[in-house]
Structure 1
Amino acid sequence: MNESKSSLTLYFAWVVSVIATLGSLYFSEIKGYVPCELCWYQRIFMYPLTIILGIAAFYNERYIKKYILPVSLIGGSISLYHYLVQKVPGFAAIKPCVQGVPCNVQYINWFGFITIPFLALTAFTLISVFMILMYREDRK
């Protein structure tokens, strides 16, 4: 991958993390949706990506992928589990949220399948794909 494509890949990953962070803040601070326990875990993994990817994009630090990819994959796994808790009845019984808002609450349900954890899963997946693309190109 030439230098400009690598820079764009890093920049796009940062843009995705910024949109995800601002989206989660919009839902909680403006719309008033109280985050559940699993939502907080997803935020714990997404918010630092915004800062780290922003710095990496500014300095065009390609080696950041080895730090970003594991964080993104773990966050995506939490999002996938949360989405399954919301959409598959059997998953909610495995470990229900015990404090605050239940994790199976769907504040949004656009087109019958797009929920907040689905949006987070999409963001984590895109960031992971961008990091894998950078990794594959660096190996060439």
Structure 2
Amino acid sequence: MNQETKKEYTLFTAWAAALTATLGSLYLSEVMKYEPCTLCWYQRILMYPLVIVLGVALFRKDYRIYVYSLPLAGIGACISLYHYAMQKIPALSQSGLACGRIPCTGDYLNWFHFITIPLLALLAFLLITGCSVILMREANKGGYYR
């Protein structure tokens, strides 16, 4: 597989992860009527633009998109990790932090007692982060910034 094809597949994977996460969150809120908590909204604020930004980059074959996708996905991953920890670590869930009208510790989904919505968001953000890092390394081969 040549370098151009590898970069295109990597970018497509990042875009597909963002699209899947966005459609999944819209399905859960609009079809299943699960109301998102404040931390869920922060994760959405960081995920939704990634669909457009990565989609445009994929269409234009702009492999330097990591400049924009890496910070968004990295911050989103941190918020998702904190949210997941709030759900699964009792000391954090009882910290008394107000999270708005809907509690951030609520589990709409709890498959196999560990797969929750914040974990799914975290996995999507980590996949996008990983793809962005791969694109960054490909762009910086040769020891200089392109």
| Equivalent pairs, count | 140
The answer as to whether partners of 1:37 and 1:97 remain within 8 angstroms in 2 is no
Gaps of 5+ in 1: none
For 1:98 and 1:5, the matched residues in 2 are separated by 42
Flag the structure with larger Rg.
Answer: 2
Question: Is residue 5 of structure 2 the alignment partner of residue 4 of structure 1?
Answer: yes
1:121 partner amino acid = L
For 1:116 and 1:135, the matched residues in 2 are separated by 29
**Paired position in structure 2 for 1:97:** 98
For 2:42 and 2:54, the matched residues in 1 are separated by 19
Question: Is residue 70 of structure 2 the alignment partner of residue 69 of structure 1?
Answer: yes
Report the CA distance shift for 1:56/1:105 in structure 2 as closer, same or farther (over 3 A): same
Question: Is residue 61 of structure 2 the alignment partner of residue 60 of structure 1?
Answer: yes
TM-score (norm 1): 0.96
Identical positions, percent: 50
Gaps of 5+ in 2: 142-146
For 1:137 and 1:129, the matched residues in 2 are separated by 12
| Deviation at residue 97 of structure 1 after TM alignment | 3.0
2:13 partner amino acid = F
User: What root-mean-square deviation, in Å, do the aligned CA atoms of Structure 1 and Structure 2 show?
Assistant: 1.2
